Amino acid sequence: MKIAVFPGDGIGPEVTREAVRVLQALDLPELTLFEGDVGAIAYRRHGRPLPDETLEMARAADAVLFGAVGDPSCDGLERHLRPEQAILGLRADLGLFANLRPATTFAGLEGMSALRPEIAAAIDLLIVRELNGDVYFGDKGTRRLDDGQRQGWDMMAYAEDEVRRIAHLAFRAAQGRKGQLVSVDKANVLETSQLWRDVVGEVAADYPDVALEHMYVDNAAMQLVRDPGRFDVIVTGNLFGDILSDQASMCVGSIGLLASASLGQRETAFGTFGLYEPIHGSAPDIAGQGRANPMATILSAAMMLRHSFGREDDAARIESAVARALADGVRGGDLGGDAGTGAIGDAVLERL
Ligand code: GGG
């Protein structure tokens, strides 16, 4: 089992360390970990946010565990040198087109939600975010207009094959859950969204057992705080998915709890190759202080065991250990407590 570990910037190394401790405690057969540089740390050491060595390491692995990238000291750099290019480059190079972001309210955390506890208690949803298209990967630039003003532009584009493959994945995910899929777009304004809506509607014919609903993104943002329990699986584009999943994290209590799996079509000897990362970023304001909550990264490691290694029992063990730690009152600063990164890792390890 070859896992490439890319801790990255800010709190990335701190939270990744705890997830690695959990993986090592499971006594997985022939577990080999390689560590590589990504993000600002890679830029400082190698002059690029995604060095060739790191990319080769990812290609040679069965799965990637990723921390976070981003550093305010890089704000003035040209776009291709910015830390975020590391994660975008990995997603593109590795063909990781589907980002699964589950959001479920843990027992005992209902009161930590930005919503009323009884509304928060009902949240058990999965956001399926398309990851290889949209404004993230379209042509972009800045130019001077005739009147001398600067103008920035980002091209939003989706080809129908890109929509079709993420739609199939989302329908299959809904089949394994409650059988309800909400496709989120802005089809009343955007051409890409009209195509998205048409293609998702066509794919629906293959899944008569799944109830499909189309929803505009502004309405989806509202419904997510009004009645999040109505959602089972949400499928949406790259930008809308990024925004809605951060919103969902505050509905369940903290962004420090949301894990993610980025999957493509490559199969390894064990399962589907994937990259696993917390949905949060590098949080430079608390970096290096041992205050970050590592649970999202630990839960991402659980997703790795499930999707990339077919080890459902080990994944469930980790998820249950995290749930029990929370039920026992283990809380990081993000949840109003004072447990540090290492102490939260210890609490999960004790309950494995
Ligand atoms: N662990 C997530 C992370 O590092 N996020 C930083 C970031 O900029 N990600 C871009 C994205 O998720 O779209």
Instruction: Look at residue 29 in the predicted model and tell me its pLDDT.
Output: 85
pLDDT one-digit tens code per residue, 160-174: 999 999 999 999 999
Please identify which of the residues 43, 136, 158, 207 carries the catalytic annotation.
Answer: 136
ipTM for the complex shown: 0.90
Residues with CB under 6 A from ligand 1: 68-70, 84, 87, 242, 277-278, 280-281
- Please confirm, yes or no, whether 71 is among the known catalytic residues: no
Model confidence pLDDT, tens digit, residues 192-216: 999 999 999 999 999 999 999 999 9
How close is the Cα of 111 to the center of ligand 1, in Å? 27
- Asked if 12 contacts 276 with a C-beta cutoff of 8 angstroms, the reply is no
Query: What CATH homologous superfamily does 1-102+260-352 map to?
Result: Isopropylmalate Dehydrogenase (3.40.718.10)
Residue 56: both structure tokens together:
């080769």
Examine the pLDDT at 27 and tell me if it is beyond 90. no
CA–CA dist 224, 37 (Å, integer) = 36
The residues, any chain, with a CB within 8 Å of residue 176's CB and separated by 6 or more, are none
Query: Has this prediction a pTM greater than 0.90?
Result: yes
Average pLDDT over residues 143-170: 97
Cα(137) to centroid of ligand 1, in Å? 14
User: How confident is the model at residue 266, as a pLDDT?
Assistant: 96
Q: Does the pLDDT at position 306 exceed 90?
A: yes
- Delimiting residues of CATH 3.40.718.10 domain(s) in the chain: 1-102+260-352, 110-252
Burial of 326 (0-12, 13-18, 19+ CB in 10 A): buried
Q: What is the pLDDT of residues 34-58, one digit of tens each?
A: 999 999 999 999 999 999 999 999 9
Question: At the fourth CATH level, which superfamily is domain 110-252?
Answer: Isopropylmalate Dehydrogenase (3.40.718.10)
Q: Averaged over 237-247, what is the pLDDT?
A: 97
Q: Using most ligand atoms within 8 A of CB, pick from 87, 130, 303 the residue to mutate for ligand 1.
A: 87
CA distance 307 to 271: 6
Beta bridge partners of residue 213, listed in sequence order: 182
